[in-house]
Amino acid sequence: SQQGEEDPQALSIQEGENATMNCSYKTSINNLQWYRQNSGRGLVHLILIRSNEREKHSGRLRVTLDTSKKSSSLLITASRAADTASYFCATDERAQKLVFGQGTRLTINP
């Protein structure tokens, strides 16, 4: 069963606005990862944040991790049409395996 849960399931915003997606998990982790999937393509790794880190940046992406709440958020600033995709969080809750959530479907409207 999927233990990472993204929220919301779908998000639609205007180009230029910020998009925030959340992920919750259930057990202790060493790291949490975010992936993007464009329609009809494989997943692409965006960012990895370790359990001893609270915030990480990569370009227009900002990821936070709150291990006390077992949650993470992905913020995309100044969104662009090309950011339209599904976004997944994944945790290493189980040995030798990543557990993926069901994803947030993000639509950027021009």
> Is 58 one of the binding residues for another protein (CB under 8 A)?
no
User: Considering Cα of 87, then 93, then 99, then 103, what sign does the dihedral take?
Assistant: negative
By beta-carbon proximity to another protein, the closer residue of 35 and 79 is 35
> Is 43 one of the binding residues for another protein (CB under 8 A)?
yes
By beta-carbon proximity to another protein, the closer residue of 34 and 76 is 34
**Least separation in angstroms between CB 96 and another protein:** 4
Give all strands (DSSP E) within 1-110, no chain letters. 5-7, 10-14, 19-24, 31-37, 43-50, 55-58, 61-66, 71-76, 85-94, 97-100, 104-109
> Is 82 one of the binding residues for another protein (CB under 8 A)?
no
The region of 20-28, 65-73, 77-85, 100-108 touching another protein under the rule CB under 8 A is: 100-108
Q: Which residues have a Cβ under 8 Å from the Cβ of 41 and sit 6 or more positions away? A: none
> Is 11 one of the binding residues for another protein (CB under 8 A)?
no
Identify the CA nearest to 80 among candidates 109, 50, 51.
109
> Is 103 one of the binding residues for another protein (CB under 8 A)?
yes
> Is 3 one of the binding residues for another protein (CB under 8 A)?
no
